[in-house]
Amino acid sequence: MSRIDLDLEPEQYHAYPAISSGAIRTFALQGPWMYCARHITHEIESEDSNAKQLGRAFHAACTDPSYFDKHWGVIPSHMPNGDKINRTYKEHKAYIDPIRAEAKEKYKEIVTKKELEEIRQMVNSVMDNPAAARYLTKDAGVEKAVINNDEETGLKVKALVDLDLGATIVDLKTTRRSTVDWFIADAINFGYDYQAAHYLDVTGAKEFIILGVRNKPPYEAMAYKVPDEDIRVARDKNHETLRKIKECYELGSWHSIGWGELNLLRRDR
């Protein structure tokens, strides 16, 4: 592989024509037709949400505080009389909308004062855990967009790395889980091992660390390492999926398996 590091904003990274870990999982779990709709024709776009916005804010505040201060604006979460803002109320909407509009013109993204306090407590929870804080070093590369070519298929692949420590890649995850076992169950369900294998392949790093941070009180951060054996298994499956993606490109067809045929509705499928 031939690694290239690019200075890209997150939206530029997502638009960059290369295959991400998420795209590989889309193909593996939802099939080629959905992969095509999400990652080629873009008929289906990922919807932004408040949770995703707060996740981006936490990532920035934790890994690059100066970037966060520059690009995130803070707006009130309460009315001047102390009432929590509810935009369904006419007077609340009249108060906050001009403030929000002004902030959106000045800043890339915005958070409320309450959300800012939550983000600060999440960052503090990372710094309080020595097993997690050790990875937040000044030498780490922050929010790196890494592009490479898959050796077997020649397909262009990409990864957006939270923290690049050379031999170690660190990824931040927010969670509502309060125990290690619950978080690991979620990690398996969300395919973090497949992401880890992909990121190590793209970057050439040897170790993938996840910092799982509770996004609700009580705030607590935990550090996890994806085991080498799990990486090996996930890597094999990722490569199998990349081969199928290449085959679809070569055939010029993205229909799901079974399309154009009469499929038997068997119990033992």
Give yes or no: residues 79 and 183 share one domain: no
Domains of the chain: total = 2
Residues 176, 118: Cα–Cα separation, whole Å: 13
pLDDT of the residue at 51 = 85
pLDDT of the residue at 52 = 86
Domain of 33: which CATH number? 3.90.320.10
pLDDT tens per residue, range 207-231: 999 999 999 999 999 999 999 999 9
pLDDT of the residue at 122 = 97
Global pTM value: 0.91
Residues 10, 17: Cα–Cα separation, whole Å: 13
Give yes or no: residues 43 and 66 share one domain: no
Give yes or no: residues 28 and 141 share one domain: yes
Structural domain ending residue among the three candidates 74, 108, 128: 128
pLDDT of the residue at 1 = 61
pLDDT of the residue at 14 = 92
Name the one residue in this structure whose structure tokens are 């995130």.
72
Q: Which residues lie closer than 8 Å to 123 by C-beta, 6 or more apart? A: 58, 61, 62
Is 267 within a domain? Answer: no
Give yes or no: residues 143 and 253 share one domain: yes
Half-sphere exposure of 35 (CA within 13 A, CB side): 26
pLDDT of the residue at 197 = 98
Residues 14, 20: Cα–Cα separation, whole Å: 9
Closest CA to 63 of 128, 130, 127, 159: 127
Closest CA to 235 of 189, 179, 197, 208: 197
Closest CA to 2 of 146, 192, 132, 187: 146
Is 19 within a domain? Answer: yes
Residues in the chain, pLDDT under 70: 1, 269
